[in-house]
Chain A
Amino acid sequence: MDLSKAKDTFLQEARELLQQFETLLLKAESASLDSEDLGALFRTVHTIKGSAGLFGFEAIVSFCHTVENVLAQLRSGTLSLTPELSQLLLLCRDGISRLVDDAEVSETPLVEVPEAERALQDALASVGVHEETPAKPRSIPVATMHADVDDAQRWHIRVKFGADVLRGGVDPIACLRYLSTLGTISGMQTLFPSLPALDELDPETCYIGFDFTLTSSASLAEIDGTFDFAREGSEIEIKSLTPVAVPAAAPAPDNQPEPEARHAEPVARKPGEGKFLKVEAAKLDRLINLVGELVIAGAAANVLSVNRNDNQMQEAISTISTLIEQIRDGALNMRMVPVGEIFQRFPRVVRDVAHELGKDIELRISGEETELDKSMVEKLTDPLMHIVRNALDHGIEPAAERKSSGKPTRGKIELMAYHESGSVVLEVSDDGGGIRRDKVIHKAVERGLIESGAGLTDAQVYHLLFEPGFSTAEAVTNLSGRGVGMDVVKKNIEALRGEIEIESREGQGTTMRLRLPLTLAIIDGFLVQVGPSQFVIPLDMVLECIELVTQESRYRRYIELRGEVLPYIDVRDIFDIHDAALPSYRYIVVVQYGNKRAGLVVDHLLGELQVVIKPLGKLFRGAQGISGSAILGSGEVALILDVPQLVQVACRQEKEEIEHHHERSHTEHACGK
């Protein structure tokens, strides 16, 4: 029996349930829980305990049992949820979580609850009303088939089954067949002591009885246990025929004392408890890989059909292309998960950290339903956690300071997610003191990162925060001053083809904005040609294409587009493609990233297509202006232009130009005076 697959399911399920547990407890801090919530709270731990037992995770079972006991009392109303108890339960949640982690990695599962958790368990046990059952899981007698005949005993068994046994779905003969697996039955006599005549016989009433000898090494409790499900109205007699001291029979479970009655809690389906199919991530990845190949193959077929000028073929292929597109979207969509999966960890973090810092901080979350790629979710958690901790620690001022600057003493942190032109944006805002420009510059100069702050824009100053080893906190606090800095956050985000923006106003707060691509695997691209080379521009960043009228001067790098200045760069310049003949008409592809626009000058527009992104090899990873490569339907390789970077370059050039121009006119002006 291989339970390893089920174990993974258990681990995942346990973590989800612990998350629910936490969410419910945190909810209790602002609103009181109704009976439905308390029932759900109970069920989370109850389910973990039940499944943990199957895998022999005794420590989890034992720990959950104690927690469950308290939750049962909360549910029945004999205990109420005080802030202290809530805190203790949260710590217990962490304890269970640690045990679950241990269960994942350990070869041999913990049997005893480790000391740290033991302490929690004891603390919790003292909260609850005296437990009526020991925390130790009760073991049901299991048939242990000793091959050793020496310790086999002989038993004389007489059973008369109760009249209603059959109606309960229990078949006495099946019962005895099970018993025969525990040993050897001999001298079987089947008895019908009160079998009526056929015309008076009730076909669903049980009239059967047995008298036989059993030779078995099973314990009396195990033998007796055979009749557990058929006890009602039955007479069972088990006598030892072996002259050996026999242990007393285990008491039938029915004789156990009855705990007080509990009312049934309402069972309504919670929103979000939808129907889901859990699929192994690797399977999905394989599917997406195949879809990627399909996209390429489809594009190849398309190229062929166009070249052959076969209309019918083109029509057929266009239908296939539409379907491939849908399959691709569907497959990618399967990888999309709501960002709430990350966000839901934050209420607890904010609460705990605020506690630790002695600050009063409120967390607001919006846009939890915004979806992004699952693989990104995993890689975003740490950076986001760091940013939030940073905001808590350095962003929000201490209450006294807030009061003196006329703000409410309660600080506010906002987590937000939304989609914007082909990107997912995650924002962390605080209403704290903002980033103090002078302080950042001071520190950066001190650290030798810059010579002086003169001429730096705010954005440039803020980006100093991402330099390795930069920390603005005067005292290194326990929370965010531990070496891992914002530079790591930036690296992580860039590894996801994302970027970070900072907006800050002194005295009013800071917003950190993470902008990430929707997915990592396949994009809709716009194919362009420059000289002999083909390039792909991510389609969702393309706004429009216009004809480049004349390249008036090699120095003027902007045009006026509907009353706005649009800086542009020539792709030929970026990649040094100068030997190829210039076509008579060239084009500007207008792209947007974030709130910036720029133009990219290309030779030919080849149209839209889907491309599968292949990451660049090590050699090209540092290459400017390229974010990846793609295989085209023709089998050729095209480079994917790094639009965010190019937009930045274009805007910088434009600015320099303007400044240059400004300086020039300034000098002229001065001269004129």
Chain B
Amino acid sequence: MSKTVMIVDDSTSMRQTVKICLSSAGYDVVEAEDGQDGIAKLDGRPVHLIIADVNMPVMGGIDMVKAIKQMPNYRFTPIMMLTTESDETRKREGQFAGAKAWVVKPFKPEQLLAAVAKLIMP
């Protein structure tokens, strides 16, 4: 059974690329465009990894992590933040909130795949 990854990002091209990249490696991908949308789309479905941008309208990545860590069915789901080098503080905030994995933007598709593979195999 293939693993499901949720990508939460307000950039359509980022979501699309992540989706193409992960699908080609055998993951199922669910897209959401901000934190609120992400939480709404969890909706009981099995999600094995959540990849989330930090900087998003409506609900940013860190608030989303905090919310997910309160959800009994998802509190142990690994969350990977898309951060930037200049956002070291946000990364720490994210880690503190419970997102233990991260990828520094800008990244190449293979870098993302490697990072995802460290958490879940397809």
A residues with CB within 8 A of B: 1-3, 5-7, 9-10, 12-14, 42-43, 46-47, 49-56, 61, 68-69, 72, 132-133, 137-140, 142-143, 165-171, 174-175, 177-178, 181, 204, 225-226, 228-230, 232, 253, 256, 258-259, 261-262, 264, 267-270, 273, 278
Contact = CB atoms under 8 A, between A and B. Distances in A.
Given A3-B109, A256-B88, 7 more contacts: A3-B17, A47-B11, A54-B13, A68-B86, A138-B104, A169-B100, A267-B57
Pick from B16, B77, B79, B98 the residue with the most CB of A within 10 Å.
B16
B114 A143 contact: yes
Nearest to B92: A258
Given A133-B85, A174-B120, A169 B11 contact: no
Contacts of A51: 11, 13-14, 17, 106
A170 B21 CA distance: 22
B55 interface: yes
A170 B78 contact: yes
B34 to A, nearest CB: 8
B43 interface: no
Nearest to A10: B13
B108 A228 contact: no
A412 B21 CA distance: 51
A51 B103 CA distance: 13
Contacts of B102: 229
Contact of A6 (B17, B59, B82): B17
Contacts of B79: 169
B58 A169 contact: no
Given A167-B76, A267-B56, A142 B114 contact: yes
Contacts of A54: 13-14, 17, 21, 106-109
19 contacts: A6-B17, A9-B16, A10-B13, A43-B55, A46-B55, A47-B11, A47-B14, A49-B105, A52-B106, A53-B107, A55-B17, A137-B106, A140-B107, A140-B114, A165-B100, A170-B100, A264-B60, A267-B59, A273-B57
Contacts of B92: 258
A177 B89 CA distance: 30
A228 B106 contact: no
Nearest to B10: A47
A142 B111 contact: yes
Interface of B: 10-14, 16-17, 20-21, 24, 53, 55-60, 62, 76-80, 82, 84-86, 88-90, 92, 95, 98, 100-111, 114-115, 117-121
Contact of A178 (B62, B90, B107, B121): B121
Contacts of A47: 10-11, 14
A269 B20 contact: no
B86 A69 contact: yes
A13 B100 contact: no
A171 B119 contact: yes
Contacts of A268: 57-58
Contacts of A14: 13
Contacts of B62: 264
A168 B109 contact: no
A258 B89 contact: yes
Contacts of A56: 108
A52 to B, nearest CB: 6
A230 B111 contact: no
B103 A140 contact: yes
Contacts of B12: 9, 13, 278
B106 A49 contact: yes
B86 A228 contact: no
B15 to A, nearest CB: 9
Nearest to A227: B118
A259 B89 contact: yes
Nearest to A11: B13
A226 B118 CA distance: 6
Contacts of B76: 166-167, 169, 204
B121 A177 contact: yes
B50 to A, nearest CB: 9
Contacts of A69: 86
A69 B107 CA distance: 18
A53 B108 contact: yes
Given A53-B106, A269-B58, A229 B20 contact: no
Given A10-B13, A170-B101, A267-B57, A61 B106 contact: yes
Given A142-B114, A166-B76, A270 B57 contact: yes
Contacts of B119: 169-171, 174-175, 229
A227 B35 CA distance: 27
Contacts of A261: 89
Nearest to A231: B100
Contacts of B107: 53-54, 140
Contacts of A137: 106
Pick from B17, B53, B79 the residue with the most CB of A within 10 Å.
B17
B20 A2 contact: yes
B64 to A, nearest CB: 11
Nearest to B95: A232
B107 to A, nearest CB: 6
A98 B55 CA distance: 26
Contacts of B100: 165, 168-170, 229-230, 232
A159 to B, nearest CB: 13
A182 B100 CA distance: 22
B110 A142 contact: yes
